[in-house]
Chains A and B, each alone.
Chain A
Amino acid sequence: DTAVSQTPKYLVTQMGNDKSIKCEQNLGHDTMYWYKQDSKKFLKIMFSYNNKELIINETVPNRFSPKSPDKAHLNLHINSLELGDSAVYFCASSQEWGRGEETQYFGPGTRLLVL
C-alpha cells in the first residue's frame, strides 16, 4: 500500500551505460515530479508532468528523458551515464498542478552510483 514507489532502490553502474528508474503512485494524483538530491543533500527539481504532459523541464542535460505512460507512472531514463549523475533521485506526486499549495508526496528514492 505504498503511496509512491520507486524501483530500483539502489543502482550501481558503469560510466557510459544507459539506465532507467521507475516511479509509480497509487494516490490517484494528476502531477508527478523528479528531483535530484546531490551528495550535499541539496534537492533540485528536474521534471514535472501533469496529466502525462511535461510542464517543468529544468536545465537538465538531454541525456535525461522522462516518460509518463499514464498518470500513475513517471519513469526516468538516463543515457550515457556520467560520474556526476551519482545522486539520489526522488519521485514525487501531488493531487494536481494547482497554485503551488499542494503537498507533494515523495517516494523512497533511488540511490544511483556511477563508477
Chain B
Amino acid sequence: AQSVSQHNHHVILSEAASLELGCNYSYGGTVNLFWYVQYPGQHLQLLLKYFSGDPLVKGIKGFEAEFIKSKFSFNLRKPSVQWSDTAEYFCAVTPGGYNKLIFGAGTRLAVHP
C-alpha cells in the first residue's frame, strides 16, 4: 500500500535557524507531491507542490522542496525560519494520477524567538 513517512514528529528551532523536514513515500510509479501547512487555529493550506519539471520547487513564504526520485524523497527546506513558521507541516502524495491525497503523519514545528 502507498504510504508517506515524515521522520521528524516534533522539531524545535530558534529563529534564523535553517529547516529541513524529511518526507519519503512508497510508490513505484508516477507521483505528485505536496507540502501542506496548518498554522495554529487555521485550515490546511498548500505550501508547494511538484508534478513535473524542475525537481526543485519553490513555494510560498520562502519554502522550497526537492524531489529526489532515486530516494523517493521530497524534503522541505527553508534557509531561515521565523517565529510565524510555527505550524504543523504535512507531506502528501497523489499516486498514479489519482487525485487522492495520502498524507504523512505531520511534523510539528515550534520556532522560538
Cβ-closest chain A residue relative to B102? A45
Closest Cβ of chain A to B17, distance in Å, is: 23
Question: Please, which residues of chain A bring their CB within 8 A of the CB of B49?
Answer: 101, 103
Instruction: Decide yes or no: A106 and B44 within 8 Å by CB, A40-B105, A42-B105 being known contacts.
Output: yes
Per-position binary interface string of chain A over residues 26-61, scored 1 when its CB falls under 8 Å from any chain B CB and 0 otherwise: 000001010100001111110010000000100000
Complexed CA–CA distance, A43 and B106 (Å): 9
B interface secondary structure, majority = strand
Complexed CA–CA distance, A35 and B44 (Å): 11
Interface residue A109 (Cβ < 8 Å from any Cβ of B): yes
Asked if A109 and B51 sit within 8 Å, CB to CB, the answer is no
Per-position binary interface string of chain B over residues 31-43, scored 1 when its CB falls under 8 Å from any chain A CB and 0 otherwise: 1101010000011
Complexed CA–CA distance, A45 and B99 (Å): 11
Complexed CA–CA distance, A70 and B109 (Å): 38
Question: Please, which residues of chain A bring their CB within 8 A of the CB of B44?
Answer: 43, 90, 92, 106
Complexed CA–CA distance, A40 and B104 (Å): 11
Asked if B100 and A45 sit within 8 Å, CB to CB, the answer is yes
Interface residue B88 (Cβ < 8 Å from any Cβ of A): yes
**For window 77-113 of chain B, which residues contact chain A by CB distance below 8 Å?**
88, 90, 94-103, 105-106, 108
Asked if A100 and B98 sit within 8 Å, CB to CB, the answer is yes
Complexed CA–CA distance, A109 and B40 (Å): 12
Interface centre among A31, A35, A43, A103 (most CB of B within 10 A): A43
Question: Please, which residues of chain A bring their CB within 8 A of the CB of B103?
Answer: 42-44
Q: Which residues of B contact A (CB under 8 A)?
A: 31-32, 34, 36, 42-46, 49, 51, 88, 90, 94-103, 105-106, 108
Q: Which residues of A contact B (CB under 8 A)?
A: 4, 31, 33, 35, 40-45, 48, 56, 90, 92, 94, 97-104, 106-109
